[in-house]
Structures are given as structure tokens and as C-alpha cells.
Amino acid sequence: MVYKKPESVLVVLYDQHHKVLLLQRDDDPNFWQSVTGAMEEGEQPIDTAYREVYEETGINLKQLGLSITDCKTTNQYEIRQRWRHRYPPGTRFNTEHVFAVQIDSDLSIELTEHLAYHWVTKTEAIERLWSSTNREAVTMFVPSQA
């Protein structure tokens, strides 16, 4: 088995109306999140962010000329017990690099790893997101409507 590296990215996608894209995990339907994913060996966090957005939504940001913003925030959190088997034995914590990008909510989204997606208000996103680091990222990096 190839273990995941305990270093990942969180990419918050929001639209021109300040709505946040939430994705429903297929292995836990109560778990709503932004785009996330583990870094691969030799990969820089920004490269992981672009790759994960494409893999999870089908949106090729580079092809569209859209730039991801590095929020210059790094979180460390305890990996859920049910997912620890994916990491090297004894690994309990993950380091997460936070990014954000504004996209047009009319772009077509092709889910590959999730059950559903919704565009929701910033307030609703904060209420529905499972992880505290994801809620904090939305709070800090998604602009509020004027």
C-alpha cells in the first residue's frame, strides 16, 4: 500500500456573488468540505492546489487563466481515526496549506470524488462545513457581500 503524505491543501472556491462551493464526501455524506487533497512526493502546495481543483471539479484553472491565491496560512489538525490507515503507521497529524480562488459559478462542475455539490452563502458554508480549519478559511478568505 502506498501511504498518503500527511501534508495537504485546502482550496476554498467562491463565486462572483460570494457564494462558496461545498462538496459532499462520498465516504461520509455528513461531511461537507471545500476542495482538499494530499500532496504528492516532490509537489509544491500550489501545484497540489491546481491539481486537486481539476481532479475534484473538472475545472482547469490554468487553462481558464485563473490564479489561486496562497492565503499564507498553514493549519495542523488531527487526522480522523477512520482515515489514519491511509497514512504511515503512527501518523496522527496532517499539515494543511490554505488557498482560495474566485470562479464563475456558471462553470460546469464534474464530480469525481464526491456525491454532490452546492453553492451556498458564506454563512451557510460556515454552518455546514465539517472541519474547523475549513470554516476558518471561509470566514477569513471569502469576501462578504457589500
Superfamily grouping for domain 7-141: Nucleoside Triphosphate Pyrophosphohydrolase (3.90.79.10)
pLDDT band at 1; cut points 50, 70, 90: confident
Q: What is the pLDDT of residues 73-106, one digit of tens each?
A: 999 999 999 999 999 999 999 999 999 999 999 9
- In the numeric block, the cell 460570494 is attached to 18
Task: Indicate if the pLDDT at residue 138 is higher than 90.
Answer: yes
Where residue 28 falls among pLDDT bands split at 50, 70, 90? confident
As a whole number of angstroms, the distance between CA 79 and CA 101 comes to: 25
> What is the model's pLDDT at position 27?
86
Question: Is residue 16 over pLDDT 90?
Answer: yes
Tell me whether strands 93-102 and 69-78 are parallel, antiparallel or unpaired: antiparallel
Residues 12-21, mean pLDDT to the nearest whole number: 97
pLDDT band with cut points at 50, 70 and 90 for residue 144: confident
Percent of the chain with pLDDT over 70: 99
Average pLDDT, the chain: 96
Please identify which residue in the block is written with the cell numbers 471545500.
34
Written as nine digits, the cell of 84 is 489514519
The C-alpha atoms of residue 103 and residue 15 are separated, in whole angstroms, by 5
The pTM for the full model equals 0.96
For residue 146, the model assigns a pLDDT of 60
**The pLDDT of residue 57 is above 80:** yes
CA dist., res. 61 & res. 51, Å (int): 9
List, as one string, the DSSP characters of 123-141: HHHHHHBSSHHHHHHHHHH
